[in-house]
Structure 1
Amino acid sequence: MRRRQFMTLLGGAAALPLAAHAQQPTKKIPKIGVLWHAASAEEEKEYLEILTKAFSDLGYVEGKNVEFLHRFPAEQADRFRALAKELVESKVDIAVGVTAKCAIELKQATSTIPIVFVIVPDPVRYGLVESLAHPGGNATGLSLMSVDLSGKRLGLLREAVPSLSRVALLADPKDPIAPGFFSASLNAGKALGLFVRSVEVPTPDAVEPAFSTIAQDGFDGAVVIGSMMFNERARVGASALAHRMPTLTTVGEMVQYGLLMSYGQDFPDYFRKAAGYVDKILKGAKPADLPVEQPTHFKQIVNLKAAKSLGLTIPPSLLVTADEVIE
């Protein structure tokens, strides 16, 4: 064989692997849609940072091997619906619904795209799953026991405020969790010999007037719950202190803003576990086969700074059982 012919053949052979490589399709990176409840990333900062880190710890890097589509409906019913539909039309590979409202709208928008819910009190009652052990559809995630802890919370508040006799329950009536919260707390209060009344707080601007009203009506304690109250945590805390109202919440991340204490699920851990569900599903698991996880640990936080402002002395028994004490 002549040298020129040999070199031509050799050059063609060398080019084959390059050509084959060039023709290989680019690997599709998964799209993860996240439907929050507040109006912006800033309002969701605490949990958004935790969720982002949880995915990072699992090896997911934005723009490299995953694409995140975060949506913020600002607690507006029509926005929840529209943004859920938008995520489905964006053909996300999986959707995360942070609250019950989010999960319900996502479930109504799709029966095929996998859904992981994070903060849902009763996923069976909301029709998200067939049962906790066997979800059976396209959704799974984590379940709360917020309503079931109503008696425990009222008991803790009375331990912190020995003279407690009248308790106001503050929540947005549009929140799916509100009816069950009101009902269970009223029954628990009756069993504890406390007068308990529900107070609807339908908008952020209604937060301060609600605290003003219950203070004028002689209430000596309050319990707040729901996603809108979390969004307005700074306003809730400031109002509680301004009207000298010892206030308990279900969400630990609210306490530092001026609330007296919290008792409830470890929500940061919930977001980390939600990322784990997403990871399993992206790797081939089916939501129908992944049991809904229920809480095994409840976090108690006591704010001594708020107690001092309210003129309260927190008993040692509460400090001993607290997971965290804010000095």
Structure 2
Amino acid sequence: MGRVIYFIYILYLVGAGFYMSKVSIADEKVVRIGVLSQNEDRLEKFEGLRDELSNLNYQEGKDVVYEVMTAPNDYAEMDQLAEKLVSQKFDVLVASGEGETRSLSKTVAKLNNPPPIIFMGALSPIAIGLVESEAIPGTNVTGLNNYHYELIAKRLDLLKRLIPHVEEVAVLGDGRTNLFQDSQPGLAQTARELNISYKMYDISMEQDIPRIVNEISKTSQALLIMPGLFLETHTKAIASYALIKGLPVFGVYPSDAEKGCIASYGTSYYNQGAQTAHMVHKIIMGYSPKSIPVETAEKLSFTVNLEVAQKLGISLEEAYIYFADKVIGQGGYQ
């Protein structure tokens, strides 16, 4: 009899614990989340965040409310929006990328008790100074490493294997970023292994796109886009000019293949936001951002656009078409 009573008591404690955890999520108060985005494209990350938090039983308007502010690639305006978000004392601040994280971090640094900041995808957060350690961030900032820096050499490898006749690749980057220089040792090693050459091109102004693409077309057989805000927002224009010059372009995001790139390899905006939702959930449950490890992207997608290949008159290596996670054109399959 004593054992039965003890067993029932344990079940009661377990049930009570489950009930209390549910109360802490949904019933004690409405969680207020402030979101800062540098452009409209990155709002797809917010869509992933919101949808996944809904899957985690956070009902918008009842359990959680959002305030989303967007600066159209304007750093001065973004700093102002960061000030505005911080002044409203949100429970959690969510940044769409590196620039947004820096603006929010700079603003909350003035506070004695800064709120947690979660970034929905940034490249190599230790290298760019967002966190001191991915395992133990140690500050009020943590988030998702989208792995875009680490994947640059892999994109070069996939480009060569997909289009074997390529002998020289133009790598297009923004020289204002550390990434432009830091990525070159990895690119050089991969180029040697593939027995191809590459040349770096610096671009940071929209009006320079036609001139630089024209210059590239004189010597290179393909173009590789590096990660970065400027290139991220001008991929479609670059791909359009490259198509005129007969150049295949390899992009970063899965959506880049839909913008005119012949292929791309990386994680989508949406998936970055959805994965980050689980980190926001931990914050809501009471975990400190100091103890929440920076995560790496779980879902990487290799996308191939056969329509672009056909327009360019390029035959792609069939084995790598089958290797793709998504194929666009000619009855593309998953």
Q: TM-score, normalised by structure 2?
A: 0.80
CA deviations 1:199-254 (Å, max 9, x no partner) are 22213343343322311x32111111323323234323322322221111121111
Shift of 1:49: 3.0
> Partner residue of 1:12?
none
Whether 2:241 is the aligned partner of 1:243: answer no
CA spacing shift, 1:89–1:182, aligned 2, 3 Å = farther
> Partner residue of 2:159?
157
Distance 2:48 2:137 in 1: 26
CA spacing shift, 1:94–1:177, aligned 2, 3 Å = farther
> Partner residue of 1:201?
203
Secondary structure of residue in 1 paired with 2:296: coil
CA spacing shift, 1:296–1:64, aligned 2, 3 Å = closer
CA deviations 1:136-160 (Å, max 9, x no partner) are 1111111133232233211211122
Whether 2:269 is the aligned partner of 1:271: answer no
Shift of 1:78: 2.3
Shift of 1:171: 2.6
> Partner residue of 1:110?
108
> Partner residue of 2:305?
303
Q: What letter is aligned with 2:35?
A: V
Distance 2:106 2:271 in 1: 27
Secondary structure of residue in 2 paired with 1:148: coil
CA spacing shift, 1:170–1:205, aligned 2, 3 Å = same
CA deviations 1:168-213 (Å, max 9, x no partner) are 1223334564443455334533443332222222133433433223
Q: What letter is aligned with 2:116?
A: P
Distance 2:207 2:46 in 1: 25
Whether 2:224 is the aligned partner of 1:223: answer yes
* Ranges in structure 1 where 5+ consecutive residues have no aligned partner: 1-25
> Partner residue of 2:213?
211
Whether 2:33 is the aligned partner of 1:32: answer yes
Q: Contact (CA 8 Å) 1:54, 1:272: kept in 2 or not?
A: yes
RMSD: 2.4
Shift of 1:262: 0.9
Give the total of aligned pairs: 298
Secondary structure of residue in 2 paired with 1:232: helix
CA spacing shift, 1:178–1:92, aligned 2, 3 Å = farther
Q: Contact (CA 8 Å) 1:252, 1:263: kept in 2 or not?
A: yes
Distance 2:280 2:153 in 1: 34
> Partner residue of 1:7?
none
Distance 1:269 1:193 in 2: 34
Task: Select which of 88, 91, 107 maps to 1:90.
Answer: 88
> Partner residue of 2:255?
253
Distance 1:211 1:314 in 2: 22
Secondary structure of residue in 2 paired with 1:147: coil
Q: Contact (CA 8 Å) 1:101, 1:176: kept in 2 or not?
A: no
Distance 2:298 2:155 in 1: 17
Q: Which has the larger radius of gyration?
A: 1
Distance 1:184 1:85 in 2: 38
CA deviations 1:232-281 (Å, max 9, x no partner) are 34323322322221111121111112101011235432210111211221
Secondary structure of residue in 1 paired with 2:95: strand
Distance 1:86 1:133 in 2: 31
CA deviations 1:257-315 (Å, max 9, x no partner) are 21010112354322101112112212211111111112355321111111111111111
Q: Contact (CA 8 Å) 1:171, 1:178: kept in 2 or not?
A: yes
> Partner residue of 1:288?
290
Aligned identity (percent) is: 27
> Partner residue of 2:64?
66
Q: Contact (CA 8 Å) 1:104, 1:126: kept in 2 or not?
A: no
Q: TM-score, normalised by structure 1?
A: 0.82
CA spacing shift, 1:45–1:87, aligned 2, 3 Å = closer
Q: Contact (CA 8 Å) 1:175, 1:227: kept in 2 or not?
A: no
Q: Contact (CA 8 Å) 2:171, 2:223: kept in 1 or not?
A: yes
Task: Select which of 42, 54, 57 maps to 1:56.
Answer: 54
Distance 1:203 1:64 in 2: 44
CA spacing shift, 1:109–1:287, aligned 2, 3 Å = same
> Partner residue of 1:75?
73
